[in-house]
Amino acid sequence: MEIILATHNKGKIKEFNELAKGTELNFIPVPGNLTFPKEIGTTFFENALIKVNFAFSLTGKTCLGDDSGLEVDALNGKPGINSSRYSKESTDESNMDKLLNELKGIPHEDRSARFKCCLVLIEEGTNKLISSEGTIEGKVAEEKKGDKGFGYDPIFIPEGSLLHTAEMDQKKKNLISHRANAFGPLITKLLSGPTEK
């Protein structure tokens, strides 16, 4: 089963296809180099819904919208829904640099944070929504480590781990990540037949 992922982010497409290993699901990007509408929602769910509605309106095929981000307790939940556009440049490096700068001087024990993910799927033929959420707790490190993953992975240390997320291989990351924690329940709902949100 082919599912259109409402993103142009190659890292996300790769990660979802890794998560889908062992299933008959295949994730592909939205066709063309289209500009997504502004994410004006106030929650991860609302922004995922904006993305999936846009992709579905273009294709009419089964589409999945994903919105995720990092919430840092010492910053009152920031960057949150603005994680991908936290800095002026809105690149992974500039976003991390801004966050690390804002946390300067804050000790390790006070750098608690979590990645959150919300997935919203519209199934072709039924037009019904299926949604799920996932979270992973941890802390923001004081420096970047690792070259795997994307986003804030180089500065996030999952609870119970000594490794930064970007130091983990994909298999290990897929066992614990916020996206994996949201993906499992979503696929269960999808494969069990038409479901209300």
Catalytic option among 66, 67, 92, 153: 67
Q: What is the SS3 string spanning the chain?
A: CEEEECCCCHHHHHHHHHHCCCCCCEEEECCCCCCCCCCCCCCHHHHHHHHHHHHHHHHCCCEEEEEEEEEEHHHCCCEHHHHHHCCCCCCHHHHHHHHHHHCCCCCHHHCEEEEEEEEEEECCCCCCEEEEEEEEEEEECCCCCCCCCCCCHHHEEECCCCCCHHHCCHHHHHHHCHHHHHHHHHHHHHHCCCCCC
User: Would residue 153 show up in a list of annotated catalytic residues for this protein?
Assistant: no
The residues carrying an active-site annotation are 67
